[in-house]
Amino acid sequence: MSASRRDRQSSSEELFARAVELMPGGVNSPVRAFRGVGGTPRFIASARGATMTDVEGRTYIDYVGSWGPMILGHADAEVIDALHAALGRGTSYGAPTELEVEMAEEIIDAVPSVEMVRMVNSGTEATMSALRLARGFTGRNKIVKFEGCYHGHGDSLLVKAGSGVATLGLPDSPGVTASVAQDTLTAPFNDAAALEKIFAAHGADIAAVIVEPVVGNMGCVPPREGYLQALRDVTRRHGALLIFDEVMTGFRLARGGAQELYRVTPDLTTLGKIIGGGLPVGAYGGRRDILERVAPAGPVYQAGTLSGNPLAMTAGLATLRRLRDRTVYERLERAGRRLCDGLSEVAREAGVRTVTNRVGSMFTTFFTDSPVNDWPSAAKSDRSAYGKFFHAMLAEGVYLAPSQFEAAFIGVAHADELLEQTIEAARRVFRSL
Ligand code: KE4
């Protein structure tokens, strides 16, 4: 039913009732359906700065930020102006543009491991392509991923651990074949010894290890001291490539991402989210000798109709150029520390057991009473308690991640007063739980 045939704005409930008949689960990406917290997803009408407004006119302080891209805030004036100027020049050419040259220069200048880069249209495409490239470059078939890490929905990556850490993977979704899954080994995150065992058993067959250097997809879980260097060492010793999936952490934790922050340089890096400024984008890059194997320079095939799309490059460049100012990350660190210290304090005051993990401007409050440093410890969290917390905060006008196992994000538009409002809302909510 089009807007013209409606005499009033539909509510989220009404829109969701229509949506579930038209799209699987009523959404175009599962986490948006609120199944992790229950209830009806809020249909968003607009967003500006640190806030989003739903179709019923309720405004929320937004800590999802489109799952990471909106580090400058929604509808940033410079990004919107740049897009307006670009629109008049057309939306897609299917031919090379100067914008892609400038984007490649920006990424190569910022990200330590990247000497050459290929633009794609999503994080999933970036990781799928990076794995194919790693296999093509090494001539090996197996890859290693980690429990609790998510790298998009490529078949090789929708695989769960077999019975033991060194056993071959099992499909983690219908439609992923056993033959694909058997080439994916799954190891526990933050356990260097377990990975050594896998390499002892399969080392000569392993093309690459792919990792979220700071995990966002089991909730925020930082690497233990020295862990990333251990991954670097073991892959180098066995001739496997190390891939940092920085789709979420790239330009989020530092201009050079987690690899700058932790001073560990992978062979390949995948990017997404922030580099598109909110438009569809992904990228994979790394050592020149590896990237030169990608078609048409080399034999590893990968292509994309809208790769390097001028509008996505425009929004991405407008965003990345603002992130050259390193004081942005100092501000985000201060904001992250203030918010998360405040959330921990008001939970403690109310006697509610939580653990808040944070790196820079990405964080997760786990409803648990023991440290969270891998999937098993994250999985002990009380999902029902998180769901109650989520909805109570939503009622207070604070939009957190609708799942215990997701990261939340602070952007430069989250002014101090919004952080204080969030902490006071949490104080009221924790007292009510
Ligand atoms: P996309 O294909 O969704 O652009 O990127 C996949 C991806 C790859 N690597 C990492 C580390 C990621 O976090 C993601 C996607 N992140 C999720 C948030 N957990 C996107 C939200 C969603 O799936 O709707």
Asked if pLDDT for residue 327 goes beyond 70, the answer is yes
Pocket of ligand 1 (CB under 6 A): 29, 31, 67, 122-124, 127, 150-152, 212, 216-217, 245, 247-248, 272, 282, 406
Judge contact between 161 and 197, C-beta under 8 A: no
Rounded to the nearest angstrom, the distance between the alpha carbon of 215 and the centre of ligand 1 is 11
pLDDT of residue 253: 98
- Distance in Å, CA 248 to ligand 1 centroid: 7
* Average confidence (pLDDT) over 274-289: 98
Average pLDDT rounded to a whole number, residues 285-303: 98
Measured between alpha carbons, how far is 429 from 62 in angstroms, rounded to an integer? Answer: 17
pLDDT of residue 18 exceeding 70, the answer is yes
Q: What is the pLDDT of residue 160?
A: 83
The atom number, within ligand 1, closest to the CA of 249 reads 11
pLDDT in tens, 25-73: 999 999 999 999 999 999 999 999 999 999 999 999 999 999 999 999 9
Atom 15 of ligand 1: nearest residue by CA position? 152
* Structure tokens belonging to residue 272: 């997404």
Counting ligand 1 atoms within 8 A of each CB, the residue from 247, 253, 271 with the most, and so the one to mutate, is 247
Q: Is the pLDDT of residue 2 over 80?
A: no
- pLDDT at residue 170, as a whole number: 77
Calculate Rg over the CA atoms of the chain: 21
Question: In order of start, what are the domains of the chain with their CATH numbers?
Answer: 3-63+326-432 (3.90.1150.10), 77-322 (3.40.640.10)
0.95 exceeded by pTM: yes
Q: Is the pLDDT of residue 432 over 50?
A: yes
44: burial class by Cβ within 10 Å (0-12, 13-18, 19+)?
middle
**Per-residue pLDDT tens for 230-253?**
999 999 999 999 999 999 999 999
Kindly list the strands in the beta sheet with 59-62, ordered across the sheet, starting from the edge strand earlier in the chain: 44-48, 51-54, 59-62, 398-399
Does the pLDDT at position 162 exceed 90?
no
Among all residues, which ones are annotated catalytic? 150, 245, 273
Q: Report CA(151)–ligand 1 centroid distance (Å).
A: 6
Q: Which atom of ligand 1 is nearest to the CA of 216?
A: 13
- Mean pLDDT (whole number) for 281-304: 98
CB 26 within 8 A of CB 33: yes
Span 104-127, pLDDT tens digits: 999 999 999 999 999 999 999 999
CA of 146 to the centre of ligand 1 (A): 15
Is 258 a residue whose pLDDT tops 90? yes
Query: What's residue 165's pLDDT?
Result: 47
Q: Look at ligand 1, atom 21, and give the residue with the nearest C-alpha.
A: 67
Residue 379 has pLDDT above 90, yes or no: yes
The pLDDT confidence band at residue 7, using thresholds 50, 70 and 90, is confident
Is the model's pLDDT at 155 over the cut of 80?
A: yes
Going from the Cα of 352 to the center of ligand 1, the distance in angstroms, rounded, reads 30
pLDDT band at residue 167 under the 50/70/90 scheme:
low
Q: Give the ligand 1 atom nearest the CA of 282.
A: 4
Amino acid 169: pLDDT: 73
Sequence-separated (6 or more) residues with CB below 8 Å from residue 65: 71, 74, 409, 411
- The CA-CA-CA angle for residues 356, 64, 387, to 5°, reads 60
Average pLDDT, the chain: 96
